[in-house]
Structure 1
Amino acid sequence: MASDSSAPKAGDKTCSQNDVSACSATDAAKLFAFCVSLSCKEQRLSGLHCGFAGRNGSRLTMIFLRQKMHRKTYFEMPQFSMRPELRKTPTKSLPDAARQRSSSQHEQRQTVREQFFSLPEGTPCQLLAGEIIMSPSPIPLHQAIILELSLQLLRFVKEKKAGRVFSAPLDVALDDDHVVQPDILFIRQENLGIIGKKIIEGAPDLVVEVLSPSSAYHDLRTKFRAYERAGVQEYWIVDPERRSMEVYCTSGKKFQLHQEAEERGAVQSVLLAGFSVALDDLFSCLD
Structure 2
Amino acid sequence: MEKSSMEFLDDPKLAPIHAKPQSMLSPSTLSAQDFAELKYSLPEAGRWHELHDGQTVLLSAPDDLHGTIVLNISRALAEWFRTQPPQTRGYACHDLGLHVHSEPDTVYVPAMSIFREGKPFSQFDNVIATEIPRIVIDVASSHDRRSDMRLRTTAYLKHGVECVWVPDPFKKEIQVIRRASHTLSLGKWQTLEIGDLLPGFTMVVENIFVQPKWWVEKLPDV
Give the TM-score taking structure 1 as reference length: 0.55
**Residue 214, structure 1, aligned to residue 118, structure 2:** no
The alignment partner of 1:210 has SS state of: coil
Tell me what 1:273 maps to.
Answer: 199
The alignment partner of 2:93 has SS state of: strand
Distance in 1 separating the partners of 2:170 and 2:205: 13
The alignment partner of 1:141 has SS state of: helix
Distance in 2 separating the partners of 1:132 and 1:178: 9
Corresponding residue to 1:167 among 73, 91, 94: 94
Give, in angstroms, the shift of residue 269 of structure 1: 0.9
Tell me what 1:138 maps to.
Answer: 62
Tell me what 1:33 maps to.
Answer: none
Give, in angstroms, the shift of residue 238 of structure 1: 0.5
Distance in 2 separating the partners of 1:148 and 1:193: 20
Q: Which runs of 5+ in 1 are unaligned?
A: 1-44, 48-107
Corresponding residue to 1:257 among 182, 185, 190: 182
The number of aligned residues is 176
Distance in 1 separating the partners of 2:118 and 2:35: 29
The alignment partner of 2:70 has SS state of: helix
Distance in 1 separating the partners of 2:79 and 2:187: 24
Query: Structure 1 counterpart of 2:69, which letter?
Result: I
Tell me what 1:151 maps to.
Answer: 75
Distance change (3 Å), C-alpha of 1:232 and 1:206: same
Query: Structure 2 counterpart of 1:280, which letter?
Result: E
Is the CA contact (8 Å cut-off) linking 1:175 and 1:202 kept in structure 2?
A: no
Tell me what 2:211 maps to.
Answer: 285
Distance in 2 separating the partners of 1:189 and 1:118: 26
Distance change (3 Å), C-alpha of 1:284 and 1:193: closer
Give, in angstroms, the shift of residue 187 of structure 1: 0.3
**Structure with a larger share of its residues in helix:** 1
Is the CA contact (8 Å cut-off) linking 2:32 and 2:99 kept in structure 1?
A: no
Tell me what 2:219 maps to.
Answer: none
Distance in 1 separating the partners of 2:38 and 2:118: 32
Query: Structure 1 counterpart of 2:156, which letter?
Result: Y
Is the CA contact (8 Å cut-off) linking 1:116 and 1:127 kept in structure 2?
A: yes
How big is the alpha-carbon RMSD for the aligned residues of Structure 1 and Structure 2?
A: 2.6
- CA deviation vs aligned residue, 1:63-106 (integer Å, no higher than 9, x gap): xxxxxxxxxxxxxxxxxxxxxxxxxxxxxxxxxxxxxxxxxxxx
**Residue 113, structure 1, aligned to residue 32, structure 2:** yes
Distance in 1 separating the partners of 2:206 and 2:121: 36
- CA deviation vs aligned residue, 1:102-140 (integer Å, no higher than 9, x gap): xxxxxx65x343542342413131113433221221111
**Percent of pairs identical after alignment?**
21
Distance change (3 Å), C-alpha of 1:201 and 1:173: farther
Q: Which runs of 5+ in 2 are unaligned?
A: 1-24, 217-222
Over alpha carbons, which structure has the higher Rg?
A: 1
Is the CA contact (8 Å cut-off) linking 1:157 and 1:165 kept in structure 2?
A: no
Is the CA contact (8 Å cut-off) linking 1:207 and 1:235 kept in structure 2?
A: yes
Distance in 2 separating the partners of 1:149 and 1:193: 18
Query: Structure 2 counterpart of 1:263, which letter?
Result: K
Query: Aligned ranges for residues 175-190 of structure 1 at < 5 Å?
Result: 175-176=101-102, 177-190=105-118
Larger relative contact order (CA 8 Å, sep ≥ 6): 2
Tell me what 1:64 maps to.
Answer: none
Distance change (3 Å), C-alpha of 1:191 and 1:129: farther
Distance in 2 separating the partners of 1:114 and 1:167: 19
Give, in angstroms, the shift of residue 217 of structure 1: 1.9
